[in-house]
Amino acid sequence: MAIFVVAHGAWSAGWAWKKMRSRMAERGHHIVTPTQTGLGERAHLAQPDIDLELHIADILGVLEYEDLDDVIIVGHSYGGMVATGVADRARERVAAIVYVDAYAPGDGDSIFSLTPHRREPMTAAAAAHGEGWKIPPTEMPADTSDEDRAWAAPKRLPQPIKTFNQPLKLLHGEPIVPSHYIYCARRPADDRFRPFLERARAEGWSTYEIDSSHNPHINMPDELAEIFDEIAKSIS
């Protein structure tokens, strides 16, 4: 049995991974889907000082208090920033990193430094609709089913802007555990994750493509579970 711990994407929370829980259990694995501070069921804790470091600390706390070792840390989208920080700080607990259509940052990177074209519109949206510190949720992909949209869209909450502004600080250098990249091939015009797929290929990571838009855990959970199972077997 492998233990997967998810660092979810922006505006999202642990609830978004509910389809994966039974599918991973059917394959003999355990998936833990914690929610980062200020989002989902932890929305009551939202405040302007929430930043990337706090979200890294959220996941580190789960590893420590649940006594989780040899975990496969999964970062989806923004969660790639969080997962990389966790793999840096808890090297003795992390067996591998899986990036799911995610940012794969280096030391000193932030969401806005990696996608500078998004800084101005998102900052403006936070100023206009989020008291200057909350970035309103983006639209879900166009191919999201009506059923999934009705379920998920109302639960997506504003993202604290400091999580996008704060650079990642690696305390021990680049994580040295096996890394895997899952690229969602059904792209919008803004293909901001292809550079990370290309980095993964250049550095010899295991790479996968899935015929999904940005949220395969919602749109294609069976296919994503199969890839997770393959990754687990490759490192067992």
Where in the sequence numbering do the catalytic residues fall?
77
From the centroid of its chain, how far is CA 208? Answer: 16
The radius of gyration of the chain from alpha carbons, rounded to an integer in Å, stands at 16
Continuous segment of H or E residues that includes residue 211? none
Continuous segment of H or E residues that includes residue 14? none
Please state, in angstroms and as integers, the Cα–Cα distance from residue 126 to each residue in 10, 158, 194, following that order. 14, 9, 27
71 φ/ψ angles, rounded to the nearest 5 degrees: -85, 155
Angle subtended at Cα 90 by Cα 89 and Cα 93, rounded to the nearest 5 degrees:
170
Instruction: Note whether 110 and 52 are within 8 A (CB).
Output: yes
**Other Cβ atoms closer than 10 A to 74:** 30
184 strand-pairing partners? 210
Continuous segment of H or E residues that includes residue 31? strand 30-32
Assigned token pair, 48: 């302007």
Instruction: Note whether 184 and 213 are within 8 A (CB).
Output: yes
Query: How far is it, in rounded angstroms, from Cα 198 to Cα 204?
Result: 10
Q: What is the largest CA-CA distance in the chain?
A: 49
